[in-house]
Copies of this chain bind each other. A is one copy, B any other.
């Protein structure tokens, strides 16, 4: 796969380049209005692994940013989580399969709810630019 590096900077809808400011500790938010941009700080080339960044954790809920650079879930190793998750595609593109449902291509703004213990796969992510996801994770459910 050839990685068109220039394509990223040219597409303003893909990640802005800059520094990602993480917000792991809600207690740090008192002095000033905390703002950072979820599209900042994306890699400028494909990486071996996806990047997971915790944005906010509060009362058992976690809000996370995920940046994919062409990764996919192996067919034999689906995600199978013990908690509900809601995902929103912010940039790039991807395809999502939930066990027993039709595959769906995702564009920016598309969102999906993934119930606990529903096996699922990311079939592909954009090969030409970063794909940025927002994920909201509920607390785990009892087995």
Contacts and interface: CB of A to CB of B under 8 A. Distances in A.
Copies of this chain held together in the complex: 2
Contacts of A39: 108-109
Nearest to A55: B111
A63 B35 contact: no
Contacts of A112: 33-35
A134 interface: yes
B38 A109 contact: yes
Interface of A: 12-13, 16, 23, 26, 29-40, 55-56, 58-59, 61, 63, 84, 86, 88, 90, 96-98, 101-104, 106-113, 115, 134, 136, 138-139
A104 B33 contact: yes
